[in-house]
Amino acid sequence: MAPIPRNEKINFDPGTKYHIAANVPYLRYFIVEILQFQFHRAMCGFQGITERLYMCDHGLDRNNLERLRFYAVRRPEKLDKAFRYLCEKISRYLNNRNRPYVILGITVMNDIVKSCYQLLNTFVDDYLETLRLVLEERDDLELIEQAVASFESFCEIREEAPNYQRNYQFFVHRFTALCYYHDEMNRIKLRCLGLRGHHALFRKTANDELQNDAWKHMDQIMPSIIFNMEVEEQNQSQEATY
């Protein structure tokens, strides 16, 4: 610890501007602010803690997730509002380019969908709309991968009463576009994600007896699948020639 340096333009303590020898408020300021800071800094230096004292942790807090799951199960009448609030937060994180919290929000959404699948129809529209927003991130491989994985989990749920008004047209278009992704960077990974999305959509429509909805888009789905099969065959033939 060290006393305040000389009050020059470089080292100027604003508290000394009002300094009087017997001024108790200033003495309190000096002890609390200056000496305490110097003491804490000296202790951290002694312990070898010289890096940032607070590191952001974007990981999932399992205790809070368990509380949210318990609340959703016990208060199903509040589930739609809670889920809508979660989706609004994810949308805001997307606008602010805050990827870690978007991924965290998708993880929480997945957990709620799996835990409260009996009440899926109460919040499925908000869920699909949020996935749509994430999938619109054109070149963000990590976010697209999270959205496709979430959609796959959703498609595995067998609903007792299929919703014939639900429209998967956007997902067909987006997965088809991924199957034709042409940029060299992440091309194979994004095309595989498109094929995974189509596979999940087939499984969903078959389980929910909505085959007619899938057949309406076969003119888009099948060419994109065949295109990737032909590309794979061309790559194999080129490797064989080498």
DSSP code at position 48 = T
Q: How far apart are CA 59 and CA 49, in angstroms?
A: 23
pLDDT of amino acid 102: 92
- Do the Cβ atoms of 195 and 145 come closer than 8 Å? no
Q: pLDDT of 128-146, one tens digit each? A: 999 999 998 877 899 999 9
Q: pTM higher than 0.75 for the full model? A: no
The CA-based diameter of the chain, rounded to the nearest angstrom, is 92
Q: How confident is the model at residue 54 (pLDDT cuts 50, 70, 90)?
A: very low
Instruction: Calculate the average pLDDT of the chain.
Output: 77
Nearest CA to 147 among 178, 120, 183? 178
Helix (H, G, I), strand (E, B) or coil at 98: coil
The first and second tokens of residue 57, run together, are 């942790």
- Assess contact for 221 and 198: CB atoms under 8 A: yes
Mean pLDDT of 199-213: 71
CA atoms 118, 152, 173, 142: torsion sign? positive
CA–CA dist 146, 100 (Å, integer): 11
Identify the pLDDT of residue 238: 46
Question: What's the mean pLDDT in 44-58?
Answer: 61
Mean pLDDT on 162-187? 84
Burial class of 123 by CB neighbour count within 10 A (0 to 12, 13 to 18, 19+): buried
pLDDT (0 to 100) of residue 239:
46
Residue 28 assigned as binding residue: yes
What is the distance between the alpha carbons of residues 78 and 117, in angstroms, rounded to a whole number?
Answer: 15
In terms of average pLDDT, the best of 22-26, 135-139, 207-211 is 135-139
Tell me: pLDDT of 242 over 50.
no
